[in-house]
Structure 1
Amino acid sequence: MTIARFETFRPIGEILAADVLPALYRAQKLPLRISCLGLASADGGDNADSFERMIPLGECPSPEEAMQFAALRLSRGDICSGSDSFPHFCPRIMLIQDREYGLVLAGEIRAGIILWQQPVTSNAEARRIVTEASRLRGMAFAASGRANRELARDLRLRASLCEARLVDPFWRETASDLLRLPQAA
């Protein structure tokens, strides 16, 4: 005699492995931290006195909410507000990281919007990006030694934009799915 298996019932082991354990693991990585990397200066110029600065913006319970929070803060122009703010701050890259500082999503800021970067799809692609970013940082180091700070700063920005695709393997699928969804205007 054979027992018919119904599709509505799943073994408890399958439920634990497919639903419960991934949800618990994800919960350990929350909340997500939102930060902005940019140039800070005292006089607002893009001169030798400006320096790169990471500004923490807040925390959110999900990647979707973190993306909305980042876009809202950028649109309001309150990236660098508070007691330790800089008179002039030019945001360049928005970052979303998990509790362990694993990259969830990152995007370049252009014309007041965030251009979220597609995450890498494989470890081989990640290695190529690390190699390219290292090459750019090496060129930036050489340029700073020749007292060409603007070129060095631009090369470091290009390296950071390459690294923006180095999403933590745990978050790659989630980030790809988020970027496939149509964004509300």
Structure 2
Amino acid sequence: MTFARFETFRSIGHTLAADVLPALYRSQKLPLRISCLGVASYDASDVANNFDRVIPLGECLSPEEAIQAAALRLSRGDICTAPNSFPYFQPRIMLIQDRDQRLVRAGEIRAGIILWQQPVASDAEGRRIVTEASRLRGMAFRASEPGDARRLRYRAAAMEARLVDPVWRETAADLLRLPQAA
């Protein structure tokens, strides 16, 4: 006598390996840290004295909370507001990293909106992005104008926003499918 195997049935071992253990591993990497990469200066008129700066924004216990918190801070203009912070800060890239500094999610900031990047689908795609980003950084190193060099570096950083750690790739891809609040 043979039984038909239903597609909806999964063995306990498969459920444990596919769902439970990865979730437990990711939970060990919490809290998630939110930060913003941008251009800072003390004087808005002095472009020559602008410099790149990473501003820490806080911690959250889930990727969903971190995405919402990052969007809220950006929409309120609440990124560089501490008393000792820079009076002029232009946010460029939002980062969410785990406790081990592994990239969970990243997005480029344009017109006050975070454009979260699709994570790489494979290690080979990741290597291609690293190669292209390295090429852009080399061009930035050789650029004679500081503004041109900065634009090339940020193009490279925007590409690297897709380099989500393999532990977080599936979670990051799932988060892109969720409807985002405006």
Residue 82 of structure 2 is matched in structure 1 by: 82
TM (norm. structure 2) is 0.90
With over 3 angstroms needed to count, the CA separation of the structure-2 counterparts of 1:9 and 1:159, relative to structure 1, is: closer
Say which SS state the counterpart of residue 83 (structure 1) adopts.
Answer: coil
Kept in 2: contact 1:44–1:89 (CA 8 A): no
User: How many residues matched?
Assistant: 182
Shift of 1:23: 2.2
Residue 165 of structure 2 is matched in structure 1 by: 168
Say which SS state the counterpart of residue 48 (structure 2) adopts.
Answer: coil
Say which SS state the counterpart of residue 40 (structure 2) adopts.
Answer: strand
With over 3 angstroms needed to count, the CA separation of the structure-2 counterparts of 1:166 and 1:9, relative to structure 1, is: closer
Q: Which amino acid aligns with 2:35?
A: S
1: CA distance between counterparts of 2:140 and 2:38? Answer: 17
Correspondence 1:150 to 2:134: no
2: CA distance between counterparts of 1:109 and 1:8? Answer: 41
1: CA distance between counterparts of 2:9 and 2:161? Answer: 42
Kept in 2: contact 1:106–1:117 (CA 8 A): yes
- Which sections of structure 1, spanning at least 5 residues, go unmatched? none
Correspondence 1:94 to 2:94: yes
Work out the percentage of aligned pairs sharing the same amino acid: 77
2: CA distance between counterparts of 1:10 and 1:182? Answer: 28
Cα-Cα RMSD: 2.3
Shift of 1:81: 1.7
Q: Which amino acid aligns with 1:44?
A: A
2: CA distance between counterparts of 1:128 and 1:55? Answer: 28
Shift of 1:68: 0.3
Q: Which runs of 4+ in 1 moved over 4 A?
A: 5-15
Residue 110 of structure 1 is matched in structure 2 by: 110
- Which sections of structure 2, spanning at least 5 residues, go unmatched? none
